[in-house]
Amino acid sequence: MLEVFGSTETCVFASRRPAVDEDWSLYDKVVLHPQPDGTAVEAPQLDVPITLADIVSLADGGRRFRLRGRHADMLEIAGKRASLADLSRRLLAVPGVQDGVVFQLDDGDALGVHRIAALAVAPGLDEHAILDALRRAIDPLFLPRPLRLVRALPRNETGKLPRAALLELLHRHD
C-alpha cells in the first residue's frame, strides 16, 4: 500500500509505504522547514511556502520526515512536550485495549496545567493494568488522570470523537 501526505492547500508532497517505514519521503524539489507552531512547505506547485499545523522531525538530510503531531495537539508540561495523538496511539498499543483516546481537560490546576484524561474500551482489563502498561511507554507527566473504562467511545457518524461527548462520558463515570 502506498500512502500519500498533503493537504488541500499544498496538494500531495510526500508518500510512504506504511508496512515498510514510518518515515515519509518527500517528492522532488519539496523542502520542509519545521517551526515551533508547524511546518512550512516549499513545493514547485506553490507560489509561496504554506505553513501546516503538522509538527515533523526531519531525517536523511531533510529528504524524509516523521510526523510528530499537530500544533493544536501538542502538550507542554514541566518543559516536556508530547502529542495527544501519540499518547492515544500508545494507549491503543496496550494489549487488550480495543479502542481509546487521550485528551486534555479544560480546567487547569493552580499552576495553569491542564490535566490529561483518557477513555478506553478494554474488556477484561482494569484501569490499574492499563496505567501500569502506559508507565512503561510514556513519561509519568503524561499519564492520563483520570483514565476511565467505557463500553464504547462516543464516535459520531464520521468516526470522530466530539469533545463534548468525551467530557460527558468521562463525567458520567465520576
Each residue's pLDDT tens digit, 102-161: 998 876 555 555 689 999 999 999 999 999 999 999 998 899 989 999 999 999 888 888
CA atoms of 120 and 143, how far apart (whole Å): 13
Per-residue pLDDT, 55: 81
Please, where are the H alpha helices in the chain? 84-92, 127-135, 163-172
Per-residue pLDDT, 123: 95
Please, where are the H alpha helices in 24-156? 84-92, 127-135
pTM tops 0.85: no
Nearest C-alpha neighbor of 166 from the set 103, 107, 121: 103
Q: Is 43 within 8 Å of 11 (Cβ atoms)? A: yes
107, three cell numbers: 480546567
Domain boundary among 15, 46, 71: 71
**Residue 54: domain span:** 3-71
Amino acid present at 33: H
Per-residue pLDDT, 71: 59
Domain boundary among 71, 106, 124: 71
Same domain for 104 and 48? no
Per-residue pLDDT, 77: 74
- Render pLDDT for 26-81 as a digit per residue (tens, 0 to 9): 999 999 999 877 899 999 999 999 988 888 889 999 999 988 766 566 777 777 77
Same domain for 83 and 125? yes
Same domain for 15 and 53? yes
Q: Is 148 within 8 Å of 137 (Cβ atoms)? A: no
Same domain for 84 and 166? yes
Residue 22 CB neighbour total at 10 angstroms? 9
CATH number for 149: 3.30.300.30
Q: Is 3 within 8 Å of 10 (Cβ atoms)? A: no
Domain boundary among 22, 42, 71: 71
